[in-house]
Chain A
Amino acid sequence: MDPFNAIVIAVFLPFILAWTLPVLYSVFKQRIGWIAAGIAFTCFMLNVQVIPYAMAGTPVQGSWVWLPTAGLSFDIYGDGLAVLLALIVSGVGVIIMSYSNGYMSTKEDLPRYYQWLLLFMGAMLGIAYTDNTIQMFIFWELTSITSFMLIGYWRERPESVYGATKALLITAGGGLFMFLGFLMLRVVTGTYGISEVAHSQELLSILHGSEFYVAVLVLVFLGAASKSAQGPFYVWLPNAMEAPTPVSAFLHSATMVKAGVYLVARMHPILSGTPEWLILVSGTGMITMVMAGFMAFRQTDIKAILAYSTISQLAYLMTMYGYSTAEHPGLGFAAATFHLLNHSTFKATLFLVAGIVAHEATTRDIRKLGGLRKEMPKTFIVAVIAAASMAGVPPLNGFLSKEMFYETSLEIGHLVGGPWVYIFPVVAVAGGVFTLMYSIRLIDGIFLGERTHDPDVPHHVHEAPWVMLAPAVFLVGLIIFFGVYPKFPIETLIQPAYSGLVPHADHLHVKLWHGITTPLLMTIATFAIGIVLYKFYDTLAAMQNSFNAKLPWVSVNYWYDATVNNAKGICKKFANITQPGPLGGYIKIVQLFMIFLVVWPLYYLGVGAANILPEGMNFASQPYEIVLYALIIVSALGAAIIPRYLPAVLSLSAVGFLVSLLYMYLKAPDLAMTQVCVETLSTIIFILVIIKLPQKFKEPMPAGKVLVNLLISGTVAFSVFAIMVNAGVGILAPFESFSHYFMEYSLQLTGGLNVVNVIVVDFRGYDTIGEISVLSLAALGVYNLILSRSGSAAEEGEEE
C-alpha cells in the first residue's frame, strides 16, 4: 500500500469507525471491545507499513489542500519519530482494548467507552504524523477533549467530574498558549509547516535571531508542559486517575501525556541549541523529576503512586530532550526516545497490574493490601519484572535507557562546565533513587509481607482471568526482549527517529555490558542509596504529610482549588451586576446607548442644532395622511398613559396597524402586509402573556422617575427623528447607493423581478440563513425560559 494512504487511513479510520460502535453494540453486545481492538490492530498494521520508509531515511510526505484561502492543508510527515509514537499509540491501544474486555463490567455503557478510546487513538495518530502546526493544535485539543470524556467516564462520581474538569482546564488551556506560540512562529517564519522550518537553515537563523524566539519557546513549552504534567501543571495527572484503569494506562501513562514530550522532540530541531532551551526544558524536567519522585512517597493509592511515577518519568524525557545544545545538537535525543518507548511498556504493564489488583482485591489502597504473591503468583511475577524495569534493573529495557540517561547527563555536565559537572549527574541519580524506592514500595506493599485482614479485601483473592493477564504478559515479554536484544528496537525505531531529526546523527550502539563505566557506577550507587533510604520510606512520607498539613498553600492544588472555586463566586457576583433582572433597567441602558450613538457623532462632526433639519424639507401632507398621523399619535399616547395592561397593549398594537396603513398610502404593499401579519401575531403573544398578570399597574411611579423616563424617551425619539430625516439627505455626503446593482442584475442572475425578495433569498442569502437561525434560537429560548421558570418555581420561592 502507498505509505501516504496508509497513514491517512490509520488516522481517519478510528474517527470514522468509532461512530459505528453504537450500532454494532446492538448486534455484538459486550463483544464490541474486540471489534475496537481489531480496529486498533488494523491501525497498527498500517503504521508498520511506514517503518521501511523511516528506516531508509525517506520520510513519507504528502498533503491535501484543505482551506486554501487560509493557506492551510492537511500535511503528513511520517519519519522515524512519528512512526515510533504511532506504533506505541496503536500498539498499546490494541493491548488496552483487549484488556478492557475483562476489566469493564458488561453493564457499563460500553459503546461510549470504546468510542472515546478510538477517537482518542485517532487524534493521537494525528498528532504523530502531523507536519503543520494548526493541524497539530487541532488534534492536540481533540486529545484533551477525549481525555476529558474518558476521565469523566463515570459521570455520577464527583471525583471523576473534578478530575476531568481539572485535566481539561489545564491541558486545553496549555494548548491555547501553544497555539499562540505557533501563530508567532508563523509570523516570524511565514509558514505553518514544521519540517519546512526545521529543514531550512535560513528560516532557523531568522527565528533564532528574532525577538520573538523566547516567546515562541516559552509558549510552545507551556503547551508541552501542561500536556505532559510537568512543572506546576502536574496537578491534573493524579486526579485523572479517577478514569477507569485501562484509560489511565492508555492515556495517562503510555500515550497522551507523551504528546507534550513528543512536541518537544518534534520542535527540537527548530527551537533547541540555545541556553534558554536548556534552562527551560531541562530545568523544568529536572525539578519535576525529583519533586514528583519524592511526592510519590506519601501516596497510598496504587494508581496515585503510578501517576506521580509517570510525572517523574516524563520529566526524565523532558530533561533529556532539553540536553540538545548548540555544541552537541541531539545530545540526549536517542536516550530520551528509547526511554519513551521503554516507559510505555513498563508503565502500561504496571497500570494493567493495578487494574488487576483493584479488580480482584476490590481496593487500591496500598495500606490494606499486602501478601498477595501467593494468591496471584502470575500477576506477581509480571509486576516484579515491570517494576524492576522501571527501577533500572539489568537486563531489562529500563536499565538500558537509564544508563543512557546517566551517560548523557555526564556529557551535558561537561559541556556546560563549572559546578554543573556534578549537578546534572547528581540530580539524575536522585531521580533514579526515588524511582527505585517507590518501585520497591509498589511490590512490597501489594505482594510481599503478610496478608492484612482488612474488611475491604476479600478472603480469597483469585488470580486474574487470562483476558486481563495476557496483555500484561505480552508487554513483559517486550520489556525482556528489548532489554536482552536492544538491537531490534534500536535499529527499527530509535535510530530512524534519531537520524530523522538530528543532522549528522551517529550510529547508536546499545549493549547490556559496556565494561565498568561511570554510568554503571552511578547505577550501582543508585541501588545502594535507594535500598538504604528505603528503610526511611515511611518516615519521609510522614514528614511530607506533616509539612503539607502545616503549609497548605505550598501545594499547587491549593491554588488551583482557590482559583476555580472562587471563579464560580466571582462569576455570580459579576452576573448579578450585569444581569440584575428587571427589564426596565435593560431598556434604559439600550436607550441611553442609542442616544450616545447619535449624539456623539453629531458632536464630533460639529453639527449644530440648527443644521439637524435638512433644508428644503417638504411637510405638505394630504388630509387623510394628517388624520392618520393624528390617530398614530393618539394611540401612542394611549399606550404610554393608560394604567391598565390590556388596553395599553391594544393601543400599542393600534400604532402598528396604523403604521401599516401608512405604508399602504406610501405605496409599499409588501411592507404593509408584513407589518399587519407581524403585528397580529405579536399582539396575540403579548395578550397571552399579559392576561396572566394583574390588570393594574401595581406601583404608581414617583414624579421624578416619570420625568427621567420622559427625558430619556424624548431624546431617543428626537435622535431617531434626526436620523430618519437625514437618512436620504445626509449630514455627511451620502454614500453611493448600490441598489442599482440589484436592480440591474436581479432578473439576469436570479430570474426574479421582486428585487426585495431576490435580495433576501439570493443576493443576501447569508443574512437570511443567519436570521432564520436566530428565529429558531429565539423560539427555543422562549421554550427554555418558560420551562426553567415552571421547573424551578419552588426554588425561586425560597430565594424570594
Chain B
Amino acid sequence: MTTIITKTIAKICLMVDMLYSLDLLLIGGNRPGGGFIGGVLCACGIALIYVAYGYEDVKKIWNPDWHSWFGYGLLFASITAISPLLAGHNYFRSAFELSPLIVGGFHLGELELVSSMFFDLGVYFVVIGGLLFIVTQVGTDKGKDPEGGK
C-alpha cells in the first residue's frame, strides 16, 4: 500500500479532507454536516495517513494522545450542556444570535453565533479521538504476532 503514489495522494487528500471536515462542522447548523460527520471525515483522513506512511513513522513527527482527545471532547460537551444552569436556565438550553460581520468597514453578511456549536465541537473531538484511538490500538496490537511482541 505504501507506494509513492498512495503517499502523495494521501498527503494532498489530508489537506482537502481537513478543510472539508472543518467546513462540515461549521455549517452543520444550516446545511448537511455537523460534528459527527465532520469528525468521522477528519478521522478518515488521518487514518489514511497512518495507512499510507505507517504508524511508527507518523508517530515520530506527530503523536497526539487520542484518548485525551475524546476525554476532553466529552468534558467539553458536558460543560456546554451544564453551563446554562449557571445562567439559571434548564440543562441543555441553547441560544443563538445573529451578528453583522464587518471586516474593514465592509458589511460581509450575518454571522450566526449558536451555542450548540460548542456542543457539536465536543462531539467532533470525541468522534476523532475515539475512532483514531481504536484504529491506532488495533493497528499496533502485537498480541499474537509470531515475533512475540509484548
Taking beta carbons and an 8 Å cutoff, which residues of A are in contact with B?
A: 669-670, 673-674, 677-678, 680-681, 684-685, 688-689, 692, 749-754, 756-758, 760-762, 765-766, 768-769, 772-773, 775-776, 778-780, 782-783, 786, 789-790, 793
Contact = CB atoms under 8 A, between A and B. Distances in A.
Contact of A670 (B32, B73, B112, B139): B32
Interface stretch (B2-10, B41-49, B56-64): B41-49
A793 B114 contact: no
Nearest to B149: A790
Contacts of A768: 77, 119, 123
Given A669-B32, A681-B40, A783 B145 contact: no
B133 to A, nearest CB: 5
B18 to A, nearest CB: 13
B42 to A, nearest CB: 9
A775 B67 CA distance: 11
Given A674-B37, A750-B29, A775-B127, 14 more contacts: A681-B40, A749-B94, A750-B116, A751-B96, A760-B36, A761-B119, A761-B123, A765-B81, A765-B92, A772-B73, A773-B74, A776-B73, A776-B74, A793-B143
A772 B32 contact: no
Contacts of B44: 677, 680-681
B133 A783 contact: yes
Interface string B2-43: 000000000000000000000010001111111111001101
Given A674-B40, A790-B143, A772 B122 contact: yes
A688 B138 CA distance: 7
B116 A762 contact: yes
A680 B47 CA distance: 9
Contacts of A674: 36-37, 40
Contacts of A757: 28-29, 33-34, 120
B134 A782 contact: yes
Nearest to A677: B40
A751 B29 contact: yes
A19 B67 CA distance: 27
Interface in B120-150: 120, 122-123, 126-127, 129-131, 133-135, 137-139, 141-145, 149-150
Pick from B32, B33, B73, B127 the residue with the most CB of A within 10 Å: B32
B70 A775 contact: yes
A762 B37 contact: no
B114 A670 contact: no
Most chain B beta carbons < 10 A, residue from A752, A769, A772, A789: A772
A341 to B, nearest CB: 44
A680 B42 CA distance: 12
A790 B47 CA distance: 24
8 contacts: A673-B32, A681-B40, A750-B29, A754-B29, A756-B34, A758-B29, A776-B126, A779-B131
Contacts of A778: 130, 134
B71 interface: yes
Contact of A761 (B34, B71, B78, B127): B34
A761 B134 contact: no
A678 B44 CA distance: 8
A678 B133 CA distance: 15
A786 B143 contact: yes
Contact of A754 (B32, B98, B134, B142): B32
A674 B36 CA distance: 8
A703 to B, nearest CB: 31
A766 B92 contact: yes
Contacts of B142: 790
Interface of B: 24, 28-37, 40-41, 43-44, 47, 51, 67, 70-71, 73-74, 77-78, 81, 92, 94, 96-98, 112, 114, 116, 119-120, 122-123, 126-127, 129-131, 133-135, 137-139, 141-145, 149-150
Most chain A beta carbons < 10 A, residue from B28, B31, B81, B138: B138
A692 B144 contact: yes
A677 B20 CA distance: 13
B126 A772 contact: yes
Contacts of B31: 753-754
A788 B29 CA distance: 41
Nearest to B97: A751
A780 B133 CA distance: 9
Contacts, number: 152
B32 A783 contact: no
Interface centre among B29, B67, B70 (most CB of A within 10 A): B29
A760 B70 CA distance: 18
Contacts of A773: 74
B81 A761 contact: no
A224 to B, nearest CB: 38
B144 A684 contact: no
A782 B29 contact: no
Given A670-B37, A790-B149, A772 B77 contact: yes
A160 B131 CA distance: 42
A760 B34 contact: yes
Contacts of B116: 750, 752, 758, 761-762, 765
A790 B92 contact: no
A113 B114 CA distance: 48
Contact of A779 (B35, B123, B130, B143): B130
Query: Which of A685, A688, A757, A765 has the most B CB atoms < 10 Å from its CB?
Result: A757
A769 B31 CA distance: 22
Contacts of A692: 141, 144-145
Given A681-B135, A773-B74, A782-B137, A750 B94 contact: yes
B5 to A, nearest CB: 18
Contacts of B129: 776, 779
Contact of A775 (B47, B97, B126): B126
B138 A772 contact: no
Contacts of A790: 141-143, 149-150
A775 B138 CA distance: 16
A688 B37 contact: no
A783 B71 CA distance: 14
Contacts of B41: 673, 677
A790 B142 CA distance: 8
Contacts of A677: 37, 40-41, 43-44
A678 B120 CA distance: 18
B143 A772 contact: no
B77 A769 contact: yes
A752 B122 CA distance: 18
Contacts of B94: 749-750, 762, 765
A769 B37 CA distance: 15
Given A750-B94, A752-B114, A778-B130, A673 B138 contact: no
A765 B40 CA distance: 19
A752 B30 contact: yes
Contacts of A782: 133-134, 137-138
B97 to A, nearest CB: 8
B85 to A, nearest CB: 14
A758 B117 CA distance: 10
B33 A688 contact: no
Contact of B112 (A669, A678, A685, A751): A751
B105 to A, nearest CB: 26
B32 A789 contact: no
Contacts of A673: 24, 32, 37, 41
Contacts of B135: 681, 684-685, 688
A766 B30 CA distance: 21
B119 to A, nearest CB: 5
A758 B114 CA distance: 11
B150 A754 contact: no
A758 B116 CA distance: 9
A769 B82 CA distance: 11
Contact of B40 (A678, A752, A779, A789): A678
Nearest to B96: A751
Nearest to B125: A772
B126 to A, nearest CB: 4
Nearest to B121: A761
A671 to B, nearest CB: 9
**3 closest A-B pairs by CB:** A751-B96, A670-B32, A752-B29
